[in-house]
Amino acid sequence: MKILVTGCAGFIGFHLSKKLTQKKSNLVIGVDNLNKYYDIKLKKERLNVLKSTSQKNKKNFLFYKFDISNKKKLNLIFKKFNFDAVIHLAAQAGVRYSLENPDIYLKSNLVGFYNIIECGRNHKTKHLLYASTSSVYGANKSLPFNEKDIADHPLQFYAATKRSNEIIAHSYSHLYNLPTTSLRFFTVYGPWGRPDMSLFKFTKNIIEGKKIELFNDGNHTRDFTYIDDVVTAINKLISKKPKRKNIGKRYKLRPNESSAPFQIFNIGNNNPVNLKIYIKHLEKELGIKAKRKKLPQQDGDMKDTYANINLLKTKINFKPKTNIKIGIKKFVSWYLKYYKKNKRGKF
């Protein structure tokens, strides 16, 4: 099976690519621009792991460094490999960063997505799966978030670009019969994670004796989802491409309904955790009490996230296996080993 993974040097893209290359019959083509949003060294070391794994499996991972806004280069690899599946994970991430640098989100998340889906259409990709986010639920107050819920009130530009991807995907599925699957990720965490995310930042600051920033005094919840569970869900969904269907004469369609080969899934843990409890688990694992800096709720932040995953259960018999205590333990173990620090911050 020939599979394109964009953003292969990113957090989720790395773990997914590693999983896919473990199957020797797969040929995984990775694309990443290795931008400077966070430590390039971390991204390059992820790539080194992928290349090492690939060599053990008859070199079934190939890497191309370029930006997905370059449509010409994208067309060339689509033409060369005729992909069975495309898993589009390349994007400018970060809710708070989008408040400061919206231009890069326009280029990567909208222009880049358009280039991917156009190439998918022109080269008759069999299944396009793409990263979305729990942030699309925005101002929605109904918990847990359900794919049938309205998602038209994003609270930041990042979420708006991701919701736009879903709407564009539906139009292509309808017009060109291109099977598309939206993956709405809920606060993914784990080893090799992104340095801009809470667990990474909290761990670093606690070890170094610096204050951790608590927006809204930590009075919000997140449906923290461990990376291995996320990868399992994506891997299973690759073969579950949507088909055209007869949904009858509905007066009003729900956001996740369509006669087109189009589908949306929440990829979450289905078990929200209060941020203060989350920090307590981290403090216990590190053996260090965190110093706190209390801040007001930041613009664009959602108070709570909570994934209804009934559709995933029905489609792929999905059930997350990793609870927050185990997930944090595994992350801390990786972090201390990677940065060669002990639990008191000494080298």
How far separated are the first and last CA of the chain, in Å rounded? 44
CB 21 within 8 A of CB 57: yes
The active-site residue, picked from 130, 137, 158, 335, is: 158
At 138, the amino acid letter reads G
Give me Rg for the CA atoms of the chain.
20
Cα 114 from Cα 112, distance rounded (Å): 5
For residue 98, give every residue at least 6 positions away whose Cβ sits within 8 Å of its Cβ, in sequence order, or none. 92, 105, 156, 157, 158, 300
- Residue 226: name the closest of 195, 199, 253 by CA: 199
Core vs surface per residue 27-39: b (16+ CB within 10 A) or e: bbbbbbbeeebbe
Query: Which residue spans within 247-331 are E strands per DSSP?
Result: 262-267, 273-274, 291-295
Q: Which residue has the tokens 């699957």?
A: 181
At 198, the amino acid letter reads S
At 305, the amino acid letter reads T
**H-helix or E-strand spanning residue 116:** helix 112-122
Query: Which residue spans within the chain are E strands per DSSP?
Result: 2-6, 27-32, 61-65, 85-88, 128-133, 180-185, 188-189, 211-215, 221-222, 225-226, 262-267, 273-274, 291-295
Cα 131 from Cα 148, distance rounded (Å): 18
Please say if 158 is a catalytic residue. Answer: yes
Which backbone phi and psi does 215 adopt, to 5 degrees? -75, 145
Residues forming the active site: 158
